[in-house]
Amino acid sequence: MKEINAIEYRDGTLYLIDQRKLPITYEIFQCKTYKDVEFAIRDMVVRGAPAIGAAAAYGVVLAAKEFIDNSKGDFLKNMEEALGVLNKSRPTAVNLMWAIRRMRNLIEENKELSVNEICKKIETEADKILNEDIETNKKMGKHGNKIIPEKATILTHCNTGALATAGFGTALGVIREAFYTGKDIFVYADETRPRLQGGRLTAWELKQEGIPAKLIADNVAATLIRDSKIDVILVGADRIALNGDTANKIGTFMLSVVAKAYNVPFYVVAPTTTIDFDTETGEGIEIEERSGEEVTHIENIRIAPEGIEVYNPAFDVTPGENITGIITEKGIVRAPYKENILKLK
């Protein structure tokens, strides 16, 4: 087992594996201010809903260090401004808003303490968020492994491993657990256009672990499903609505439709922190649209004609009716989703 630490905080600096550079180069991006963290989230130095939440928590730590010498009133005012900046760095992944809300509540509950004492509590809370996510992912791995057949061929989309979380992974964490427990599995990893998180990141993690796998173009997946070459599909999530509708990397919805047509089990793997209990259906999920250059260029090389308009949503919403089950740290949730998701609150 090879440990991958995508997020590490020490000595007043947040160290992130720069996921824009993998797999060509392994570089560490250093965040010394909360604005560095905001940039890292927005520019996808760090990505994946749980990882974004953990990074944002440490962004709050860095803000607290920046304002530690302020008067109490100025400290609280400046911290609220920093929380707002971090909260807006990306709009779809609910773990970001969850982590910021948790840190805001902590500050509010302890605002009568000295600034130094508040800062210590903020750092302790960020460490808790990081460690809780790792433990949560390991629990999901164990629950998810129960639905993985021996000699299973698994299809996955985007990156849901240690790079997308505080450690171990969500959907890729289930794959890891199946591999560690001796199941003779094989993985097909979608390349995941346009940012190629499957080709650049999931393939890299699978190689690091020695898990048997092949990388495929996104448009190969339907043929594999049709030809009965996929036993189960595992994907992550950036936000889950109360009715089970799930926002995940663009292309997930398309996979779910084909899987349903050919009766292939389709599972979402996500911690309960990714459930948005305030959003009834997928219609209420804001979908981030990113720069057209992600589609027209690869590594700064233009592959499309000048002047062509681009539609580039980062996510799509898979309806709950297409999902076989949602694997969480508390077990596997199945339909009826609203009724059963509310039991997790």
Active site residues: 238
| Tokens coding 223 | 């043929």
| Tokens coding 45 | 């130095």
Cα–Cα distance measured from residue 62 to residue 40, given in angstroms and rounded to the nearest whole number: 13
Residue 256's contacts (CB-CB under 8 Å, 6 or more residues apart) are 233, 266, 318, 319, 322, 323
